Chains A and B, each alone.
Chain A
């Protein structure tokens, strides 16, 4: 069962903050975040593991609440380059099940 992402879309001005969420009905061991720009392949952002470990390449922060079975991605002081669709993936039977995505548009 794929995770549920909210909000479906968000528009924000450069410099503003936004939070996007990923929820699962099943217990989570890890949450993966990817960003896909229009016409491009999804690119890895980070993995959040049960127990608090976090592995990522970018300066985008995220949280993982195991009890609530959800993760949130924090887009702080957003930049134009943050625009894209953000997908969260949760481990389901040894494979990643992705949500439908959060579309983020950052305008000047």
Chain B
């Protein structure tokens, strides 16, 4: 079956701009989580959606937001980009919150 698909894979933005990243989970998976990965910091949890509802949120500023659609596809948005937002953003889907996570290959964001 098809895996988790994230688009775009790479993007470059400048400070102050905003960006929207997309994630299509594995068919049948209703939970979608987002993580920020930067060198030396591991995977930092951003938020998790289940059946269009945000069930959990990490310690990120309000500039980071997300949503989930009825088909379980999810988007995350970062507004007023800062240099420190440069990172690999990973999306993971799962059947439930604490089960096996299936990660996409990520969207690599560079902020100049």
Contact = CB atoms under 8 A, between A and B. Distances in A.
Q: Is this pair of chains taken from one and the same complex?
A: yes
Interface of A: 2, 30, 32, 34, 40-44, 47, 55, 87, 89, 91, 93-101
A95 B33 contact: yes
B102 A44 contact: yes
Contacts, number: 54
Main secondary structure of the interface of A (DSSP, over half): strand
Which range holds the interface residue count of chain B? 20 to 34
Top 6 closest A-B pairs, CB basis?
A100-B42, A41-B103, A98-B43, A95-B56, A44-B100, A42-B103
Contacts of A44: 100-102
A89 B97 CA distance: 13
Given A42-B43, A87-B43, A99-B42, A94 B105 contact: no
Contacts of B75: none
28 contacts: A30-B98, A32-B101, A34-B101, A34-B103, A41-B4, A41-B90, A41-B104, A42-B43, A42-B90, A43-B103, A44-B102, A47-B100, A55-B100, A87-B42, A93-B56, A94-B55, A95-B33, A95-B97, A96-B45, A96-B98, A97-B45, A98-B35, A98-B43, A99-B42, A100-B40, A100-B41, A100-B42, A101-B42
A51 B98 CA distance: 16
A98 B42 contact: yes
Contact of B42 (A2, A41, A91): A2
Contacts of A47: 99-100
